Amino acid sequence: MQCPVIPYIQKEEEWKMEKVIHIRDHAAEKTAEASPETMPKWKMALLIFVYFIKIGTFTFGSGWSILAQMEQEFVDKRHWISKQDLLDLLAVGKSLPGIMITNITLLFGYQMAGVLGGVLAVLGIALPAVVVLSLVTLVYDAIKSNYWVWAALKGVQCAVVPIIGGAAISLGKEALKDKMSIMICVAALAVCHFTSISNIVLIVAGVVGALVWMGVKEHA
């Protein structure tokens, strides 16, 4: 004779399974809605604007720390682009005239949502700095010699270093996958450390070196 409790246990297990399936399907729908392929360009552009405002507000240091936040937000968290895509944006943005991180931001926004996305991405990354600097100029004379302000800025500087280092290691693993890449990287580091060569010359030399290597490899 079957235990009368068993049907209730089975029903409870079925209910739990249905709940898990419902949660999974709901999460999948949300992911699809947030996908760049399915979202309207204007909506994607507005999202990019909001995300870059957040990045610009909570990122301190140079453009490299912003790049680290872009990797965390758009590569690791939202999966909008791959690490290789971010490396490609970095290579192009670094080789163009102007501010590196502005170039990268513009290219990313354009890639995701066209011209509007590029414009709003740049506005989003610049807006927090403009607002903060406008407020700081009003009280600059009062805080420029303040010990606590100086100590806070020193703390920010120390915190930025591991953020930049983490991004360098993460992107470096993606970029340095063969002997040619490693050789070019080591040579570039040596040249940067021991000379005052221009970044543009260094990038052009890297491109030429890679093309020569690939040509030799192709005809070997």
Residue 52 is predicted with a pLDDT of 95
**Residue 60 neighbours by CB under 8 Å, 6+ apart:** 156, 159, 160
Amino acid identity at 98: G
Write 190-199 long-range contacts (CB < 8 A, 24+). Answer: 199/94
The pLDDT score that the predictor gives to residue 33 is 47
If you count them, how many residues does the chain have? 220
Q: Are 56 and 140 contacting, i.e. CB atoms less than 8 angstroms apart? A: no
- The tens place of each residue's pLDDT in the chain, 220 residues long, gives 445 555 555 556 666 666 656 555 544 445 444 567 778 898 999 999 999 999 988 877 677 788 888 988 999 898 999 988 998 898 888 878 888 889 999 999 999 999 999 999 999 999 998 898 888 888 777 777 777 777 777 776 676 677 667 667 766 766 676 777 777 777 777 877 788 777 777 777 777 777 776 776 676 6
Percent helix / strand / coil, the chain, rounded to 5: 85, 0, 15
How much is the pTM? 0.63
Q: What is the DSSP string of 21-62?
A: HHHHHHHHHHHHHT-TTTS-HHHHHHHHHHHHHHHHHH--SS
* pLDDT score at 207: 74
- Give dist(CA 138, CA 188) in Å, integer: 43
Q: Are residues 133 and 156 in contact, defined by beta-carbon separation less than 8 angstroms? A: no
What is the separation of C-alpha 140 from the centre of its chain, rounded to a whole number of angstroms?
32
Residue 74 has a pLDDT of 92
Domain ranges of the chain: 10-38, 40-175, 176-220
188 and 176 Cβ atoms separated by less than 8 Å? no
How far, in Å, CA of 133 to CA of 130, rounded?
Answer: 5
4-to-1, 7, 63, 131 alpha-carbon distances in Å: 9, 6, 67, 69
